Structure 1
Amino acid sequence: MNQKIKDIENSLCTLYIEGKMSNLIEKYSYSDKIKQYLNNLKLDIIENIDVFVEFENLDKEFVENFINRYEVNVMVNNSIEGAPVVIEETPEYQKLIGLVEYENKSGNLVTDFTMIQPGSLHLANGGYLVLDARKLLESYFGYEALKRCLLLNKIIIENLKNQLDIIPIVNLKPEPIPIKTKVILIGTPEIYYILYNYDEEFRKLFKIKADFDYEFEDNNENMITFVKLIKYIVQEKNLKDITFDGIQEISAYAKRKAESKKYLTTNISSIIEILEQANQIAKDNKNRYIDKNDIKLAIENKNKRNSLIKDKILSLYRQNKYIVDVTGFKIGQINALSVVDYGDFEFGRVNKVTVNTFCGNGNIINIDREVGLSGNIFNKAILILTGYIGEKFAQTGNLSFNASICFEQMYGEIDGDSATLAETVALLSSLAEVPINQGIAITGSVNQKGEVQAVGGVNTKIKGYFDICKIFGLDGSQGVIIPESNVDDLVLDDEIITAVKEGNFNIYTVNSVEDCFDILLPASIKKGRKTNNFDYVEEKILKRLNKFKDNKEKQKKE
């Protein structure tokens, strides 16, 4: 009788459930696995019909645990339109491939399928996953897990602890999920080339490289895009609107960051920083809009906050502890310009270059190189200088002089070739025994033919020398010599532009070493000459070299 009653209940239950389940089975008929699950669900409900009949009379905890078996753990919700785009900020192992969580019950670790958590790869399946390459490589086992999933074309959820334990605990083993995801790694060129050269699997998986330029050209189309970007930042950050003059000022700042008046930087974070600070200044002043003055003040405040070391160095110049001449004429001395870069702040530094020349065998000694305070590029520049001097004055015989070159009061390492022009001019001045203008500082690279080449940081260098000239007073005789090829890089501060317009400061451009002497020689020497001032210097050098040669021959005879 009990069996017959059981059969009748099962028949009634089957009849009832069939009507409910048929719609679901038809809806998901495209998936054999879902159909199989629904059929198994139907059989399980029929088999446990007693629990449903006595539902209200059973223990509450038992009922809750029983009902859990019919829950659905929705790991990924694909209700969005289009392909998903997931940006994973912390690409750790379990953040990428998911994990099985555990619950502590009476001192025991318990888990079930409802505690299976998805990873970024699940969420981005069928779409795009964006990862920071540096963070991915820094994560423990994250990079290897990502490669394994991409190579196998499926995601296997496995707790990292189980891979490390000698005796792993019993764990659920979710079925591998097929994956079709485009993974985008964002990082520096250095990271890309390290992975490309040392990881063959990286080459196989990441075949498309897209380089982002650090600057973009200043044209109408790009400026419209730039203004739209500023507008987007204003709306996204809830900032005040910016006036036309404010837009011009922030674009000038972007050009200074790019070190060119023809290009703007793509370092958007630095622009956002200035806009946010300018917005606060506008709020404090109760301005309706962010204007030019707010932008300028934000830039000025940022520089002040970061300029402690610069201020200390300027103080040393002010106290004459760093010796520099910005007026008068001297032989074998010149002010060279360099850049000190601390990452978040850079400033121009003035270095006095001195040269002594005397009778010898053509050895040009750089003191900084001899004591190991110079880098490879700087050492190369000295050899280039030697080649230029050799071609110029040793065509009919050996050089008959020695020279020592020194960056005075330089106590750290120096590198780069932007001081080559200054060293060459100072050397020629010493050889010719002709004085040169100490108010004119020089920056520029030189090749073996005496042609002046472009250098970096030209705006910073000009600003650095201008600040020092202000300490001792601008009298119109000061200025800088820069390569002609650096003209397009000039994006100067308003203060310097005003000083140039008023004749208190000068910026000269040259194409060759010879051009410098049209600017640097005293007026008494240049009087009556137009562009052949170097002929005078060359003549004086040849006379002195012949004098050295005669003295050496005289000594040999003696």
Structure 2
Amino acid sequence: GKIERRLENGVYFTDFSLVRGGSMLQASGGYLILNVLDLFSEPGVWDHLKSCLRNREVTIEDPGFLSPFLPTTGMKPESIPVRPKIILLGSHWAYYVLHRSDEDFRKIFQVLADFDDEIDLSNHTCREYAQFVATTCANDKLLPVTRDGVAALIEEGARFVDSKNRLTLRFNDIANLVIEANYHAKLIKNTRMITRKHIETAIREREHRSSLVSDKMLREIDEGRQLIDTQGAIVGQINGLAVYSIGAHRFAKPSRITANTYAGKGGITNIEREAKLSGRIHDKGVYIINGYLGRTYAQHATLSLNVTVCFEQSYGGIDGDSASSTELYAIMSSLSGVPIKQGIAVTGSVNQKGLIQPIGGVNEKIEGYFKVCANRGLTGEQGVMIPHQNVSNLMLRSSVREAVSHGLFHIWPIKSVNDGIEVLTGIQAGKPRADGSFPKGTIHGLVMEKLVQYAKASAPQKLDSKKKAGA
């Protein structure tokens, strides 16, 4: 509540008729719903709320008592008993910050209710989505949406959460998309309904308005200033994929990853880490690669090699482990001497057992590489290798789906490192024998041969007898 004042002869006066009750008094015996961030927008509100809930009474104070510069006659009403029930709305972040830092919060607000922003996709939820769209059109006086238009909205709702089996509950985004589609529909004369075409136009226009940075990055690749090969085969070189977020816009672009191997005992050198550009999760991915190499090739002999791995033309920080399998393929190519097909980009993390693990942003990664290949001309041999677990996350744009259906672009779901290296090189990975060796001519066999050479080159050189005698 508050105490209002009136100005008379340069002095502020007040009396009982100017006392005004606030939300706490109005909600006494009922419920008061508050946004937690609003409680911190005004000084003292949060402390007064906690005091009210602890003492079960409201004290209306005159702000004049708190300011020595405000002349006032002053008045202090008696405290009023209240019994409201408070519901705070806020993000997970706000809850956990308060729970960790404010002891009063933990005592007063003891009931937590989590609400998801996703829901399972089913016939029932699809009908409710259609009802929501119809209600939005009626309330905002928009054109009605056809069945295929509703289907396009449901597809976009699934894409928001990167899942074929889930739908977003961020209805504001869906409603805004319907409003934009209504605008594009009305640009065409005699249009009476919003169709899939209008929904897709609204999506393209929305992406175009946010794509300035991604378009410039793509131009760098098209003009040859960012070096990316999409044809041919090269030893120790591969195309990785990185996702960028600018506001609500997410996009991806390919990055060249290279690996060099030579004799020595230094192990893997992560150039990004040496330059202090590597995050902790990326460092962990490199350590996992080292564990895989030891498990696969050093069961019967010491692993002797030097490896340098680098994200070429990368001048900012790198984090995440979604490129760990990509780096491993580049190392295996360098060791075996077998070139990697440059038309294939790779994403996916790897564990020490050589199994490929799922990653995020799979749709953006595929579409980002598809744009690069499409600008240069699709050859039918280009595509993206993804973890097989991410198949359920695929909600690709129609241009990519059409290219895949016509065999111009490919998506390979991969389960293990062996599966991936065979796709990238066209040569069998090879299964280990009982003695730890691999069949000749396979990728693992060629890697083992190179490691044996490195071990011999790294072994201490023995002096012959004549040199010893002369010494």
Scaled by the length of structure 1, the TM-score of the pair is 0.78
Query: Which of residues 91, 97, 108 is equivalent to 1:188?
Result: 91
Residues 162 and 168, structure 1, Cα contact 8 Å, conserved in 2: no
Look up the SS of the partner of 2:359 in the other structure: coil
Q: What is the distance in 1 between the residues matched to 2:462 and 2:310?
A: 31
Q: In the alignment, what sits opposite 2:160?
A: 257
Structure 1 residues 161, 276: CA separation in 2 closer, same or farther (over 3 Å shift)? farther
Q: In the alignment, what sits opposite 1:107?
A: 10
Say if 2:179 is the partner of 1:273.
no
Q: What is the distance in 1 between the residues matched to 2:255 and 2:112?
A: 42
Q: What is the distance in 2 between the residues matched to 1:179 and 1:421?
A: 61
Query: Which of residues 132, 141, 144 is equivalent to 1:238?
Result: 141
Q: What is the distance in 1 between the residues matched to 2:462 and 2:154?
A: 68
Structure 1 residues 535, 446: CA separation in 2 closer, same or farther (over 3 Å shift)? farther
Alpha-carbon RMSD across the aligned residues, in angstroms, is 2.2
Structure 1 residues 168, 111: CA separation in 2 closer, same or farther (over 3 Å shift)? closer
Structure of greater Rg: 1
Structure 1 residues 546, 526: CA separation in 2 closer, same or farther (over 3 Å shift)? closer
Residues 428 and 443, structure 2, Cα contact 8 Å, conserved in 1: no
Say if 2:47 is the partner of 1:144.
yes
Q: In the alignment, what sits opposite 2:121?
A: 218
* Matching of residues 452-467 of structure 1 within 5 Å: 452-467=356-371
Query: Which of residues 202, 220, 227 is equivalent to 1:298?
Result: 202
Q: In the alignment, what sits opposite 1:400?
A: 304
Look up the SS of the partner of 1:498 in the other structure: helix
Query: Which of residues 208, 225, 246 is equivalent to 2:111?
Result: 208
- In the alignment, structure 1 segments of 5+ residues that lack a partner are 1-97
Residues 265 and 458, structure 2, Cα contact 8 Å, conserved in 1: no
Work out which structure has the larger RCO, using CA pairs closer than 8 Å and 6 or more positions apart in sequence.
2
Q: In the alignment, what sits opposite 2:449?
A: 543
* Matching of residues 148-163 of structure 1 within 5 Å: 148-163=51-66
Q: In the alignment, what sits opposite 2:376?
A: 472
Q: In the alignment, what sits opposite 1:428?
A: 332
Structure 1 residues 116, 289: CA separation in 2 closer, same or farther (over 3 Å shift)? farther
The alignment-based identity, stated in percent, is 38
Say if 2:421 is the partner of 1:502.
no
Structure 1 residues 512, 140: CA separation in 2 closer, same or farther (over 3 Å shift)? same
Which digits, 9 at most, give the CA deviation of each residue in 1:142-189, with x for residues without a partner? 111111111111221113342344997332333433222221111111
Look up the SS of the partner of 1:539 in the other structure: helix
Query: Which of residues 231, 240, 243 is equivalent to 1:327?
Result: 231
Q: In the alignment, what sits opposite 1:368?
A: 272
Residues 259 and 459, structure 1, Cα contact 8 Å, conserved in 2: yes
Q: What is the distance in 1 between the residues matched to 2:50 and 2:113?
A: 20
Residues 388 and 448, structure 1, Cα contact 8 Å, conserved in 2: yes
Structure 1 residues 281, 556: CA separation in 2 closer, same or farther (over 3 Å shift)? farther
Look up the SS of the partner of 2:154 in the other structure: helix
Which digits, 9 at most, give the CA deviation of each residue in 1:369-396, with x for residues without a partner? 1111111100110001110011111112
Q: In the alignment, what sits opposite 2:458?
A: 552
User: How many angstroms does 1:243 deviate by?
Assistant: 1.4
After the TM superposition, list the runs of 4 or more consecutive aligned residues in structure 1 that deviate by more than 4 angstroms: 532-535
Residues 518 and 534, structure 1, Cα contact 8 Å, conserved in 2: no
Q: What is the distance in 2 between the residues matched to 1:347 and 1:515?
A: 27
Letter in 2 for 1:139: E
Q: In the alignment, what sits opposite 1:60?
A: none
User: How many angstroms does 1:296 deviate by?
Assistant: 1.0
Q: What is the distance in 1 between the residues matched to 2:280 and 2:451?
A: 30
Look up the SS of the partner of 2:461 in the other structure: helix
Say if 2:25 is the partner of 1:122.
yes
Q: In the alignment, what sits opposite 1:4?
A: none
Which digits, 9 at most, give the CA deviation of each residue in 1:451-471, with x for residues without a partner? 100000000000100011112
Say if 2:350 is the partner of 1:449.
no
Letter in 1 for 2:359: V
Q: What is the distance in 2 between the residues matched to 1:276 and 1:195?
A: 38
Q: What is the distance in 2 between the residues matched to 1:159 and 1:534?
A: 89
Letter in 1 for 2:65: N
Letter in 1 for 2:273: R
Q: What is the distance in 1 between the residues matched to 2:23 and 2:135?
A: 28
Say if 2:78 is the partner of 1:172.
no
Q: In the alignment, what sits opposite 2:217?
A: 313
Q: What is the distance in 1 between the residues matched to 2:42 and 2:439?
A: 64
Query: Which of residues 318, 322, 337 is equivalent to 2:241?
Result: 337
Look up the SS of the partner of 2:230 in the other structure: coil
- In the alignment, structure 2 segments of 5+ residues that lack a partner are 432-437, 465-471
Look up the SS of the partner of 2:37 in the other structure: helix
Residues 184 and 198, structure 2, Cα contact 8 Å, conserved in 1: yes
Which digits, 9 at most, give the CA deviation of each residue in 1:56-89, with x for residues without a partner? xxxxxxxxxxxxxxxxxxxxxxxxxxxxxxxxxx
Q: In the alignment, what sits opposite 2:395?
A: 491
Residues 279 and 319, structure 2, Cα contact 8 Å, conserved in 1: yes
Residues 517 and 534, structure 1, Cα contact 8 Å, conserved in 2: no
Q: What is the distance in 2 between the residues matched to 1:448 and 1:535?
A: 24
Q: What is the distance in 2 between the residues matched to 1:161 and 1:107?
A: 15
Q: What is the distance in 2 between the residues matched to 1:168 and 1:184?
A: 37
Letter in 2 for 1:162: F
User: How many angstroms does 1:362 deviate by?
Assistant: 4.7
Q: In the alignment, what sits opposite 2:192?
A: 288
Query: Which of residues 314, 317, 335 is equivalent to 1:410?
Result: 314
Structure 1 residues 552, 110: CA separation in 2 closer, same or farther (over 3 Å shift)? closer
Q: What is the distance in 1 between the residues matched to 2:416 and 2:276?
A: 30
User: How many angstroms does 1:526 deviate by?
Assistant: 6.2
Residues 439 and 445, structure 2, Cα contact 8 Å, conserved in 1: no
Residues 469 and 478, structure 1, Cα contact 8 Å, conserved in 2: yes
Q: In the alignment, what sits opposite 1:25?
A: none
Q: What is the distance in 2 between the residues matched to 1:449 and 1:534?
A: 22
Letter in 1 for 2:150: I
Residues 324 and 350, structure 2, Cα contact 8 Å, conserved in 1: yes
Q: What is the distance in 2 between the residues matched to 1:132 and 1:311?
A: 38
Q: What is the distance in 1 between the residues matched to 2:145 and 2:459?
A: 76
Which digits, 9 at most, give the CA deviation of each residue in 1:195-244, with x for residues without a partner? 11221211121111111113111112222332233333333333322111
User: How many angstroms does 1:502 deviate by?
Assistant: 0.4
Q: What is the distance in 2 between the residues matched to 1:291 and 1:280?
A: 12
Scaled by the length of structure 2, the TM-score of the pair is 0.92
Letter in 1 for 2:340: I
Look up the SS of the partner of 1:441 in the other structure: strand
User: How many angstroms does 1:262 deviate by?
Assistant: 0.7
Letter in 2 for 1:551: A
User: How many angstroms does 1:125 deviate by?
Assistant: 2.5
Residues 12 and 71, structure 2, Cα contact 8 Å, conserved in 1: no
Residues 341 and 347, structure 1, Cα contact 8 Å, conserved in 2: yes
Letter in 2 for 1:117: R
Look up the SS of the partner of 1:555 in the other structure: coil
